[in-house]
Structure 1
């Protein structure tokens, strides 16, 4: 396994938490970086877990490259997330109380993992990402989301993630029974925007205040 089991934790200790937010950093980022975003989310009493990628990258090439060119790193990253979900389940956190937040390369990895393993999750937030591969292989996605809320947000244009791929991802997730909210920000830049976090708080975490 290329990616080691290097999980960073914050928030409520797992043993005291009823819900967990898994945060997946982008290329060149760190677990600590992405966990800082959690200070803007309405997740009181959540445990927060952030895996750290080997060499700060989940796979070497663009997410739009043929899948085989990103192996074995991609499979290793997906396996790592699978191990984390099983570990959380074994500690008393059912998958329906597990939430995911991914940015950029981390958003792509998040979407690929949850769609390959679709079930009722707490919710999914993917900022600037889409399903992985030169051509999306929908044969990898056999189960359904059972109305899991999924928030997809992106910038148009974005140097790394074509808006067409985000739109296609939204279609596939809807076909897999996800409750999708898609937001496209004109010239938003390759960044996590305050507006996106506000919508995430409302749509994913059920915060009733203004977004």
Structure 2
């Protein structure tokens, strides 16, 4: 984690500032957090550190940040926030174990979780993922 500093902290702080900026007019229950690849990693890490009820969370080809064995004892509860994690089973950048780890953490923290590992898809966003994300947006 230290090798990513100060950029990791700056990126996570930017997400905090964006959420703070919209919250006066858009309650957290209507905010969707979404990212792909590195954006998914930032989105999921920020959400885990700031758990509460959101409109939805989607991490496409991403996982929590940090090497294997990083403590994942985040405080808070997602209060049944819909969370979608989608990734290829052979993504060259995101190992499926990272997605499974994130899923376990989000489930433990009270998320209404949906996980899809797509066979042989590679590092991309597939049509089913787009449909699922569209459904999440429409449900908010």
- Calculate the TM-score normalised by the size of structure 2: 0.94
Match of 2:51 in 1: 118
In the alignment, the residues of structure 1 paired with residue 64 and residue 44 of structure 2 have an alpha-carbon distance, to the nearest angstrom, of 6
Shift of 1:136: 2.9
Structure with the larger helix share:
2
What is the aligned length?
138
| Runs of 4+ more than 3 Å apart | none
For residues 12-47 of structure 1, the C-alpha deviation after alignment (integer angstroms, 9 at most, x for no partner) is xxxxxxxxxxxxxxxxxxxxxxxxxxxxxxxxxxxx
Bigger shift: residues 129-138 or 115-124 = 129-138
Residue segments in structure 2 that go unaligned for 5+ positions in a row: none
Tell which has more relative contact order, 1 or 2 (C-alpha 8 A, sep 6+). Answer: 2
2:5 maps to which residue?
71
Residue of structure 1 in register with 2:111 after alignment: 178
Q: Bigger radius of gyration, 1 or 2? A: 1
Q: 2:63 aligns with which of 115, 120, 130?
A: 130
Unpaired stretches in structure 1, ≥5 consecutive residues: 1-66
The CA RMSD measured in Å over matched residues stands at 1.2
For residues 78 and 201 of structure 1, what CA distance do their matches in structure 2 show?
A: 25
- Aligned-partner Cα distance in 2 for 1:130–1:138: 12
Shift of 1:205: 3.0
TM-score with structure 1 length normalisation? 0.63
What is the aligned counterpart of 1:162 among 95, 98, 101?
95
